[in-house]
Amino acid sequence: MQRVLLIVLLGWLGCASAAATTRLEAGAPAPEPLDEPRAGQLRLSGPFGYRPAIQLAAEANIRVTGLVAHVTLSQTFRNDSESWVEGEYLFPLPDQAAVNRLKLVIGERVILGEIKEKQAAKQIYEQARASGRKASLVEQRRPNLFSNRVANIGPGEEVQVELHYIERVAYRDGLFSLRLPTTVTPRYTPALFPAAQGVWQFQHPQPATDAVPIQPITIRAEINMGLPLAAVDAPYHDIALVREQARYQVRLARGAVPMDRDFQLSWRPLPGSEPRAALFHERVGTHEYALLMVLPPDSAGPVVAPDAGLSRELVFVIDTSGSMGGSSIEQARESLGYALRRLTPRDRFNIIEFNSSARGLFPRSVDASRHNLARAAKFVRQLDAGGGTEMLAALELALPLAQADDDRVRQVVFITDGAVGNEVELFRQIERRLGRSRLFTVGIGSAPNAWFMRKAAQAGRGEHVMIGSSLVIQEEMHGLFTRLAQTTLADLDVAWPVAVDTFPKAIPDLYPGQPLLISARAEDSLLNSTVTLSGTGARAGWQTELVAVPAAAGMEAAYTGIGTLWARAAIESLMDEKTLGRDEQAVRDAVLPIALEHQIVSPYTSFVAVEQQPSRPPESGLEKETVANLRPSGQAPQVYAWPRTATDSRFHLLLGCLALVLACVFWRSPAWAWR
């Protein structure tokens, strides 16, 4: 009897330990709740698990005029089952995109979406779903992640989901750019934040590339800046370019490509034609909206010159978690190596590595001597990826509450893919612990969490850069260190001729090559009025004036969407207040009317589209399935997602295997051994 009990106990311990670990396995096929989808999916789930719907095509059409990009993103799926199904599709978008139009095409029927308060939209959708009518619901999960539910797709039917969004084109160092994310790096959420757990902790095998690509996308873009361009480039894709006078047509040279990396498009004006200032405005209803861009002139000079004897303390924080496996850790090592070579004898530095835990190379920052730099270079060469992403521990080391009170400029350079699910908690930690430090983020990998990179740098009063390939490391890190070494303009102020509501509220200091971008809403017309900007440079005060004039012939589209961009900036600013502790109900009451007025998706509004007549017969049930997203290009397979617990999950796996082996040994042992 004792033998049987011991064998049962060991067997149970082995199975329980292995099962606890298996639940963390990245490729586990176990069903997930419908409200926690993965990126790039149309979810179609049923009572016996998930079967894939077939994706037929994906297409992105980008139209850039001035500083505004209008993007139409459509994907077509087919229900190849014999059942009526409901699908859920999760897709990444730029973190500052304003989604303002939804179209659902099923056969010959076109269903247009409407913006409603979030709970009301969900209720409308659920009622349509239950009654057998086709319906779609688009919700915001994160500022850079949206979901679309599609109800009552018939057997053999095709579904096309078309979304339109507006975003502001980025401009820095004389280069315009925009990014189109197509997949998501799986997120790691520490056990400390259970409310955020269960999201994006799984991923799927990379498909073969020697056949028709799985989850293909075609991309077309038109650039009309109203000025000649010296170069157009897409560093992570091969493109074909056709010029038609001042318009530049861009397409993928190889046609459709897998959705396994961000698409980045950049263009540079001819020397001498770069814009120094621009003021776009648009009238929407009773309000006038403006988008102001000003690039400080070189004559302003740096407030802090790089050769002025600046003493700095640089703390480099490098992510070596499992999601950084593959090409990402190589890019991170190379980026950090370049940064170390840029240090001068006046600097002090330290390196903090983090995955499931965080550790510093030195107990505290040390002089950038030849000996210490050689030791650091050896440390960097030995870095490898594995484990969880416990970023809070790294922040506590890099941003101590008690910072040394000396004259050194303290700068923290954070190198990571941002694959975390507890972003809001991290932003709060940065705000609490920043002190006199400045935080700069370096996004690594083919599909980094761009929202985290930008907002962490904003909270840290620094800058961010994105590195998706080893080919751009030197260029991007050189630009970052130029900005680390000097500030071009400080104490900036904008004097408007009429009362305005502007975002951002606090105007930051400007680094070299960085423009000032402000969105404004005015009650009165800005046409033919003057806006005055002033600031402090190294040599003297600086001032310039801009006049709002009508759009030039052929550039009217550059003024379309300015109001929507203001609304997106206003909502982001209000959500930042919630992160910093403002009452959520007060934030909701402020966000809701803006989102409804401008018809954009927000944390409190959703798009809903409902067909008038039922299409699913009452006697037919409703099932669901899923199509998985692609692993980001170059990322190593994520076999396990290890959360931080009191005991490492790998220990549970080893313990389970050992218990099962002992159970087998005792089972086969002779009876006399138990007497």
Domain 282-302+489-582: which CATH class? mainly beta
Tens digit of pLDDT for each residue in 439-478? 999 988 877 888 888 889 888 888 888 887 777 888 888 8
Share of the chain above pLDDT 90, in %: 31
pLDDT of the residue at 274: 77
Contacts of 288 (CB under 8 A, 6+ apart): 281, 282, 521, 522, 523, 524, 525, 526, 527
Q: Is the pLDDT of residue 36 over 50?
A: no
- Contact present, 438 and 414 (Cβ < 8 Å): no
pLDDT of the residue at 221: 96
Q: Is the pLDDT of residue 300 over 70?
A: no
3-state secondary structure of 101: strand
β-strands 409-416, 312-319 pairing = parallel
198, burial (CB in 10 Å: exposed 0-12, middle 13-18, buried 19+): middle
Tokens describing residue 568: 């997106």
**Rg (alpha carbons) of the chain, rounded to whole number:** 27
Helix (H) or strand (E) holding 279: strand 277-284
Give CA angle at 420 (414, 421), nearest 5°: 145
Return d(Cα 122, Cα 23) in angstroms, integer.
Answer: 30
Give CA angle at 312 (311, 316), nearest 5°: 160
Among residues 296, 294, 295, 291, which one has the least CA distance to residue 168? 291
3-state secondary structure of 629: coil
- Residue type for position 50: Y
Binned at pLDDT 50, 70 and 90, residue 646 comes out as very low
C-alpha dihedral over 219, 225, 231, 235, to 10 degrees?
A: -40
Binned at pLDDT 50, 70 and 90, residue 402 comes out as low
Considering only residues 594 and 142, tell me which one the structure prediction assigns the higher pLDDT: 594
Helix (H) or strand (E) holding 312: strand 312-319
Tens digit of pLDDT for each residue in 426-442? 998 998 899 888 899 99
Binned at pLDDT 50, 70 and 90, residue 669 comes out as low
pLDDT of the residue at 104: 84
Q: Is the pLDDT of residue 397 over 50?
A: yes
Q: Is the pLDDT of residue 195 over 50?
A: no
DSSP code at position 71: E
- Contact present, 174 and 274 (Cβ < 8 Å): yes
Q: Which residue has the tokens 């506590």?
A: 396
Taking residues 41-49, what's their average pLDDT?
52
Return d(Cα 214, Cα 233) in angstroms, integer.
Answer: 25
Give CA angle at 149 (143, 153), nearest 5°: 155
Return d(Cα 306, Cα 325) in angstroms, integer.
Answer: 35
Taking residues 173-185, what's their average pLDDT?
86
Order of all β-strands in the sheet with 287-294 = 277-284, 287-294, 516-522, 500-503
- Contact present, 266 and 170 (Cβ < 8 Å): no
b/e map 506-524, b = 16+ CB within 10 Å: ebbbbbbbbbbbbbbbbee
Binned at pLDDT 50, 70 and 90, residue 193 comes out as very low
Considering only residues 119 and 80, tell me which one the structure prediction assigns the higher pLDDT: 119
pLDDT of the residue at 2: 53
- Contact present, 394 and 162 (Cβ < 8 Å): no
Taking residues 263-268, what's their average pLDDT?
93
Taking residues 56-60, what's their average pLDDT?
81
Taking residues 352-359, what's their average pLDDT?
91
Tokens describing residue 324: 């950084």
Q: Is the pLDDT of residue 185 over 90?
A: no
Q: Is the pLDDT of residue 33 over 80?
A: no
Return d(Cα 562, Cα 548) in angstroms, integer.
Answer: 14
Binned at pLDDT 50, 70 and 90, residue 423 comes out as confident
Output helix, strand, coil percentages for the chain, rounded to the nearest 5.
25, 35, 40
pLDDT of the residue at 213: 62
Q: Supply the angle between the helices 562-579 and 423-433 in degrees, to the nearest 10.
A: 70
Return d(Cα 107, Cα 125) in angstroms, integer.
Answer: 20
Question: What CATH architecture is 312-485?
Answer: 3-Layer(aba) Sandwich (3.40)
Q: Is the pLDDT of residue 182 over 80?
A: yes
196, burial (CB in 10 Å: exposed 0-12, middle 13-18, buried 19+): middle
pLDDT of the residue at 510: 77
Taking residues 78-106, what's their average pLDDT?
85
Q: Which residue has the tokens 């004006």?
A: 269
pLDDT of the residue at 238: 93
Return d(Cα 616, Cα 131) in angstroms, integer.
Answer: 8
Binned at pLDDT 50, 70 and 90, residue 495 comes out as very high
Return d(Cα 629, Cα 563) in angstroms, integer.
Answer: 34
Tokens describing residue 484: 């680390």
Return d(Cα 99, Cα 143) in angstroms, integer.
Answer: 11
Share of the chain above pLDDT 70, in %: 75
Q: Is the pLDDT of residue 655 over 60?
A: no
Return d(Cα 39, Cα 146) in angstroms, integer.
Answer: 9
Q: Which residue has the tokens 């530095």?
A: 349
Cut 0.85: pTM above it:
no
Of the chain, the end-to-end C-alpha distance in Å amounts to 11
Among residues 121, 146, 145, which one has the least CA distance to residue 135? 121
pLDDT of the residue at 629: 54
Q: Which residue has the tokens 């303290």?
A: 410
Q: Is the pLDDT of residue 86 over 60?
A: yes
3-state secondary structure of 302: coil
The rounded mean pLDDT for the chain is 78
Considering only residues 484 and 404, tell me which one the structure prediction assigns the higher pLDDT: 484
Q: Is the pLDDT of residue 370 over 70?
A: yes
Return d(Cα 217, Cα 254) in angstroms, integer.
Answer: 11
DSSP code at position 551: P
Distances, alpha carbon 44 to alpha carbons 81, 126, 215, 418, 491, in Å: 10, 16, 16, 29, 54
Assess whether the previous peptide bond of 29 is cis (omega < 30° from 0).
no
Kindly report which listed range (131-135, 272-276, 322-326, 438-442) carries the lowest average pLDDT score: 272-276
3-state secondary structure of 61: strand
pLDDT of the residue at 87: 78
Q: Is the pLDDT of residue 644 over 50?
A: no
Q: Phi/psi zone of residue 229: left (φ > 0), alpha (ψ -120 to 50 degrees), beta?
A: beta
Tens digit of pLDDT for each residue in 242-257? 998 888 999 999 898 8
Tokens describing residue 494: 């904008």
pLDDT of the residue at 19: 45
- Residue type for position 411: Q
pLDDT of the residue at 380: 93
